[in-house]
Structure 1
């Protein structure tokens, strides 16, 4: 190894500490410098290694010390790096680390510098250039923002539906393999309507050559093949391949089975139609499709598609009703493969939209809760919209529940609602007078979204429904939030309940303006229809005038004097006037008619004219103004026109109907000055040539509204109008009975006469019948014709006896759901026949007491008590769940048990069917005690009635 040369001095340089020594200080320790140590190591290595033939190049010094520099006093050999110079806090630009610029700010400043450098040599932009640039920037993402991006699902295998010919080929091959049938080619079997098809497990017998492929026979053959767990029949499976039925063949078999059930022989998907088709062609009923699908799932692991699930659920729904469809859905829940939400939606729609009642709505809410618990915790937008819409039912409004679902849809799930969802929520909130203003808040949100989606910067058109600039022409850009006709109609549901005429007029004007703008822009537009105008007229009828009729008087003369308010009347009615003042905070009310009129000192103040022209030309203030405006609208609707444009004919899409005429007549009845004027308007309206030509006739609602007007008390009708009310009411009642008898009456299974499903629409529902009879009884009572009123009460009891309330009781079948969303104690009883309670004939009872008519008082008490007892008993049955295990015993059977329990005569049993012993044993001791109690109660009521009659006879 070569020797290591160094410029360091040779030898040991021993140094001693020069510090003063203390008493206990040690002796000085010699210290060897680093240079001497290296030199010693180099000499030692030189002696150990052989010399090289030439002198090696010198190595760089191990230290940067100069020769005259004193070496470091201690180790290490290398000098540590010098410490950085201290920086004073005053020299720092950012004293606080939090004040340091962020990466985004640095990038932004860099972008600004680069942009300035890029446009440094460009000429400055003009004002028009800046406007165009800003408009293009705003419109750049309008189309993307208007789109709704749904959640992307994983790619699934697409199942293409087979054509008729291909399906026949597939099924014929399956029949040849499974049944050993070499069926020749024949016309498509769906055109043969399933003739000569054979049901049952037979494979080849009774199959005529040239007939259609026996679909049901194939299904029975597949079902009869034993599984791997069962005893295997080698003779049966010897000629069958392992892959017995492919997925394509399952698809063809399923589609053909359902196709034949629905389309063959033109039968509808009902229980009777399916049974008739089954008897003719030998197919199983529609309910049997569930068994086939279950067999398919078990045998081949076949998974039904969404459309197949919907078809299968619809078949169950039409064959066995909602209970059967719910049982079908629960079957798939137990198999850990729940049906899709669209299948649940079919059942919910059936319960909520087709002849819905309080019980069907309660079952729908129970199914909704069960679905979220067992199958789909997160409902789809369609399910949310359906349930929110159901909250707006007029017979059972639930705005609070709709509000909760809306918050869950928009906030919890983060979903952006579209026009259908907004319309459903608006209708639900408009179902009550208390919450209808929240519906207008939702409309503002909807219009704000529509404005953001279609905003055109620097638009010169001031119209709210103006268009955007496209190809040099103004054209409105449609969005997902533009209100539809159903949205405007939903808003009017709230205004007619609250009598909010300013908002109703705004809704009508805005809907017309939007429809006209859409028509000009080239989009399909529909103006107000008859249902919308009926709601507008109902709002006119419910509106309370700001200036009451009793507060105005004619001062005399024409011209500028007109009608003025009397100062004395104003002072006496100032409190009532302030109560009718409507709020004006809402910006939608663009009319200044709701401000309180200042009180005068003694001089009269002009407010309107007698001809109906309001002092403010934008909205009526008196009843005459409202009546004149409603009449103008109605006659404009009836006026025939040849124009097909909304610009010239705003009511182009409004067809005269009975409901529209009834709504207009309600305005006449509410705001006419005298009853004679209302009667004249009634006769002239129904005799109008346009209505007669179109076949528009009065219905039950027409007579009901007029009868209730005639039945008003003396506070609402003056004494001079009382005779007019009595004569007109009797005439209306005769016409009402004739109209009611002209309609067909269907007899239910329980023997009670119930009107068809259109009874409510015709004004002949149970509650409407009650109101009509109550009105005519009140009319006779107010005319001091108590004998006629008692006669009408007896006729009502004969037509609608209290026993029918019990006979029409039907048990609610248990759907077997795991969760109940509703309490049966809070569900209102549905389909209760007409009845009359004591408060309904309270005025008659007072007149009878005044006249000291004891027999009449007893009759009133006996009739009303019978209805009350029947209602109480029916309610008791409902709370106990009576009849769930079977049908409720008939009225005759209960009467026989009551007579037998009380020891009655045996010969009465020949006229009635005596219940069998099995039924009597089923009810047991509890039923016997109930029968005895009913008999005792009936005897007690009869004794009271006889005593009342005896007292009345004695007084007479």
Structure 2
């Protein structure tokens, strides 16, 4: 009994205990035995003892109590009332029924408990279960997307089948020009109609086709051997003949002059569609023409399809419209929409209309006309899709104009206020990437990591959008370009890797080339060479595992790696140590021979790269030289001697192109860690030997290296190196317009470097001559005249037209990136110190005048720009 009762529910045991306590006499011996037996069952069943203790506390105390007469009468009456309400027989029946119910339930929970035993799973079954549960859904979607599109060969096969049907003589190359086999006169109805319409069909029907394409284009494919071209001409002949026959059948036969008076407007859609091609065959013909990048013929095919009674689908219309928009043919897009679209244009058509303005090469079209078109759609309550706003914002950010960048942020705010309140992941990624700055030299658009992190939190936390690899790359790059948030870039990269992993620990979002490059930017911001070398090793390992088609290590990657070597400060400095041999020079690091670009690369590649980063400048030059020569070997510019030994990781640097910025990054390492004579020699031979042309950064960085000398022994070399570079730079500047903001800043840096170099070499007169030359070439009065603002950035309070309703940026927040070259006191400070040393008061006054003139002109320019 106790074993069976142990499986009973606790609530049922509590109910049984309560019933027994109520209906039994507590003073009887049988009830006391039942209570004792039930208590043992409860104790053995591990029930809630709190209820048991509570019931024991309510047991009556059997002791003698003296009562008064009134109490005795009350007790007798109460006992009599209880006997009348609950007779003994009724209590025994209730207990018997409860006991029967308990006995009936004794076996049922046991069977139910046996059935509820958990199933035993093997380890392989559990692994398979969790693999399905934690699997990456993107893999299945990619497989479906690869299967769903129809291949180009299927379209062309369908077109060939149509050609065989319309041209039975497939051996004849000129299929669409069939000679009339009946040279005699035929009096049949078809012959008379053909004779009557022979002249008129060409004149009338050809005019209708010219509205779609010109006559020269049609004559161009007349001699074409392409099957779909011949098929288009054949279909055109059939449609023209059927339209002419339809007119004749609906009109009484008249003379030839009356028949010529039919206008093109009389050509209507046939009451019964002409069964020339099926709808799928028409679509296949259009697809073949689109896949061959033909911009004219898809529109003609749609026109013939419509005139034959087959209305083209909306998807097919959008496909042809996509071709016209990609070519930037704005007028053709507008005419196509008006001809093939009934009613208001769809969202896709509005987006392609705006895209045509952005792709147009015509001077009358561009970003401003695209903005006007977008706002015109908003004015008539036809809101463009979010993709249109993304296109415009992307186009504004791709230009190197601070006004366009400000307009992009304003358009983002305007879109959320007017059209789409919740941006998608792609637009959030674009705006976060814009917070990283433009990236070109001395850009006024600085990095804004705080704004980027706010947008990231809004996207992930508030909107609960799933970030992509591109979104992570954007936020990592923004953090990497800020020295304060550089370590957050590695935290975001770890979050990307750990966000979603399958049952085997493989992450769903793998880092790509942009992710590694952003992490390299973060590492070089702190001069962390250990992280840079580790990232490069991971890129090489991932490239080897993913296959030869994966090109992770490219020119940008190696540029960041070389910059990390340049910003690295080795812990060991030879000049700070005690030299045992006094005859040896203190700064002798020529043992590494960094200037030779054709050194022996047959040594073991791994021997140059140990777990410990370079401890001296010589080791830095040695590693960088080995890396660069390895690039030359993989690019097959330098021959590798097989007898010297095998090279590990062979061919992994083959995707690194030799560009000016890569060579500049390689030179920057020598500028920082090698003596100036070695860098001078490398500068003269590197570009010419590799056949790469120098850019403006090549000359500016060389002059700045000469201006900021590391030791007095480099003065003679710095003078020759700087003057030679200055003469070559003057020839480059003469060919580049100064209106370019990058060129203007480069001119400032070049003059500042040469003025400092000549002042450092005590050539004060030559330094003052450069200052006067700069004043004549770029006078201060040019600075005070600001560049006119674009119409879209006007400060007039207008709530309608091509200006956003909401703006993120004010006039004071927009930097002026069109300032001509100028010199400030900071640029002339070193020359000022030399003049003070020599006591040249007049020259000091002139120097003060020049610096104040440019500063005052810049201040007036700022005031006028704000008031514009």
TM-score range, shorter chain: 0.5 to 0.7
Structure-2 residue corresponding to 1:839 = 826
Structure-1 residue corresponding to 2:428 = 384
Q: 1:804 to 1:455 in 2, by over 3 A?
A: farther
Asked if 2 retains the 8 angstrom alpha-carbon contact of 1:803 and 1:870, the reply is yes
Distance in 2 separating the partners of 1:535 and 1:552 = 31
Q: Give the secondary-structure state (helix, strand or coil) at the position aligned to 1:850.
A: helix
**Does 1:331 pair with 2:380?**
no
TM-superposed CA distance for 1:182, in Å, is 6.0
Deviations along 1:419-451, whole A, 9 cap, x unmatched? 21211111111111111111111111222246x
Q: 1:357 to 1:188 in 2, by over 3 A?
A: closer
**Does 1:401 pair with 2:455?**
no
Q: Give the secondary-structure state (helix, strand or coil) at the position aligned to 2:828.
A: helix
TM-superposed CA distance for 1:853, in Å, is 2.3
TM-superposed CA distance for 1:323, in Å, is 3.1
- The correspondence for 1:370, drawn from 414, 432, 449, is 414
Q: 1:848 to 1:680 in 2, by over 3 A?
A: same
**Does 1:140 pair with 2:185?**
no
TM-superposed CA distance for 1:871, in Å, is 1.1
TM-superposed CA distance for 1:769, in Å, is 1.6
Deviations along 1:90-133, whole A, 9 cap, x unmatched? xx9xxxxxxxxxxxxx99987761526xx9xxxxxxxxx74x44
Distance in 1 separating the partners of 2:582 and 2:519 = 43
Structure-2 residue corresponding to 1:711 = 707
Distance in 1 separating the partners of 2:634 and 2:549 = 23
Distance in 1 separating the partners of 2:623 and 2:464 = 45
Asked if 1 retains the 8 angstrom alpha-carbon contact of 2:660 and 2:695, the reply is yes
Q: 1:853 to 1:624 in 2, by over 3 A?
A: same
TM-superposed CA distance for 1:659, in Å, is 0.9
Asked if 2 retains the 8 angstrom alpha-carbon contact of 1:287 and 1:316, the reply is no
Asked if 2 retains the 8 angstrom alpha-carbon contact of 1:527 and 1:652, the reply is no
Distance in 2 separating the partners of 1:71 and 1:411 = 70
Deviations along 1:628-685, whole A, 9 cap, x unmatched? 211111111122566999942221211222111110110001011x322332333343
The 5-angstrom pairing of residues 411-560 of structure 1 reads: 411-449=461-499, 452-453=501-502, 455=504, 480-519=508-547, 524-555=549-580
TM-superposed CA distance for 1:501, in Å, is 0.9
Q: 1:85 to 1:360 in 2, by over 3 A?
A: farther
TM-superposed CA distance for 1:849, in Å, is 2.9
**Does 1:344 pair with 2:389?**
yes
Q: 1:535 to 1:181 in 2, by over 3 A?
A: same
TM-superposed CA distance for 1:145, in Å, is 4.2
Structure-2 residue corresponding to 1:66 = none
Q: Give the TM-score normalised by structure 2.
A: 0.60
Distance in 2 separating the partners of 1:191 and 1:682 = 58
Distance in 2 separating the partners of 1:302 and 1:698 = 55
Structure-1 residue corresponding to 2:669 = 667
Deviations along 1:757-788, whole A, 9 cap, x unmatched? xx84xxxx221221111000111111111111
TM-superposed CA distance for 1:84, in Å, is 7.3
**Does 1:657 pair with 2:659?**
yes
Structure-1 residue corresponding to 2:693 = 697
TM-superposed CA distance for 1:146, in Å, is 4.3
TM-superposed CA distance for 1:148, in Å, is 8.8
**Does 1:304 pair with 2:346?**
yes
**Does 1:359 pair with 2:387?**
no
Q: 1:295 to 1:684 in 2, by over 3 A?
A: closer
The structure with the greater share of residues assigned to helix is 2
TM-superposed CA distance for 1:809, in Å, is 1.1
Q: 1:80 to 1:540 in 2, by over 3 A?
A: same
Deviations along 1:48-98, whole A, 9 cap, x unmatched? xxxxxxxxxxxxxxxxxxxxxx9999999xx99999789xxxxx9xxxxxx
Which structure has more relative contact order (CA 8 Å, sep 6+)? It is 2
Q: 1:543 to 1:194 in 2, by over 3 A?
A: same
Distance in 1 separating the partners of 2:487 and 2:511 = 17
Structure-2 residue corresponding to 1:848 = 835
TM-superposed CA distance for 1:838, in Å, is 1.5
The 5-angstrom pairing of residues 77-476 of structure 1 reads: 113=117, 115=119, 130=123, 132-146=124-138, 189-190=212-213, 192=215, 269=328, 286=330, 301-306=343-348, 308-317=349-358, 318=360, 319-353=364-398, 355-393=399-437, 394=439, 395=443, 396-449=446-499, 452-453=501-502, 455=504
* Unmatched 5+ stretches in structure 2: 1-69, 71-79, 97-101, 103-109, 143-154, 163-202, 220-235, 240-264, 272-305, 588-605, 641-645, 793-801
Structure-1 residue corresponding to 2:816 = 829
TM-superposed CA distance for 1:534, in Å, is 0.7
**Does 1:630 pair with 2:679?**
no
TM-superposed CA distance for 1:511, in Å, is 0.6
Distance in 1 separating the partners of 2:745 and 2:554 = 28
Structure-1 residue corresponding to 2:854 = 867
Distance in 1 separating the partners of 2:82 and 2:629 = 117
Deviations along 1:243-294, whole A, 9 cap, x unmatched? 999995896998799689669xxxx63xxxx7xxxxxxxxxxx379679969
Between the two proteins, the alignment pairs up a number of residues equal to 599
Q: 1:492 to 1:250 in 2, by over 3 A?
A: same
Structure-1 residue corresponding to 2:297 = none
Choose 332-341 or 437-446, whichever is displaced more: 332-341
Asked if 2 retains the 8 angstrom alpha-carbon contact of 1:780 and 1:789, the reply is yes
Distance in 1 separating the partners of 2:519 and 2:310 = 51
Q: 1:721 to 1:658 in 2, by over 3 A?
A: same
Structure-2 residue corresponding to 1:603 = none
Asked if 2 retains the 8 angstrom alpha-carbon contact of 1:646 and 1:652, the reply is no
Asked if 2 retains the 8 angstrom alpha-carbon contact of 1:287 and 1:320, the reply is no
Asked if 1 retains the 8 angstrom alpha-carbon contact of 2:414 and 2:805, the reply is yes
Distance in 1 separating the partners of 2:685 and 2:323 = 56
**What is the CA RMSD across the aligned residues, in angstroms?**
4.8
The 5-angstrom pairing of residues 805-820 of structure 1 reads: 805-807=783-785, 809-814=787-792, 815-820=802-807
Asked if 1 retains the 8 angstrom alpha-carbon contact of 2:517 and 2:560, the reply is yes
Q: Give the secondary-structure state (helix, strand or coil) at the position aligned to 1:453.
A: coil
Deviations along 1:287-338, whole A, 9 cap, x unmatched? 79679969999xx5434142x2222012333454333322322233333331
- The correspondence for 1:781, drawn from 734, 759, 762, is 759
**Does 1:772 pair with 2:772?**
no
Structure-2 residue corresponding to 1:67 = none
Asked if 1 retains the 8 angstrom alpha-carbon contact of 2:483 and 2:526, the reply is yes
Q: Give the secondary-structure state (helix, strand or coil) at the position aligned to 1:839.
A: coil
Distance in 2 separating the partners of 1:133 and 1:195 = 67
Q: 1:420 to 1:75 in 2, by over 3 A?
A: closer
Distance in 2 separating the partners of 1:818 and 1:525 = 46
Asked if 2 retains the 8 angstrom alpha-carbon contact of 1:547 and 1:621, the reply is yes
Distance in 2 separating the partners of 1:108 and 1:635 = 77
Distance in 2 separating the partners of 1:526 and 1:378 = 36
Q: 1:846 to 1:535 in 2, by over 3 A?
A: same
Structure-1 residue corresponding to 2:718 = 725
TM-superposed CA distance for 1:384, in Å, is 1.1
Deviations along 1:408-428, whole A, 9 cap, x unmatched? 222222222222121111111
Q: Give the TM-score normalised by structure 1.
A: 0.55
TM-superposed CA distance for 1:349, in Å, is 0.8
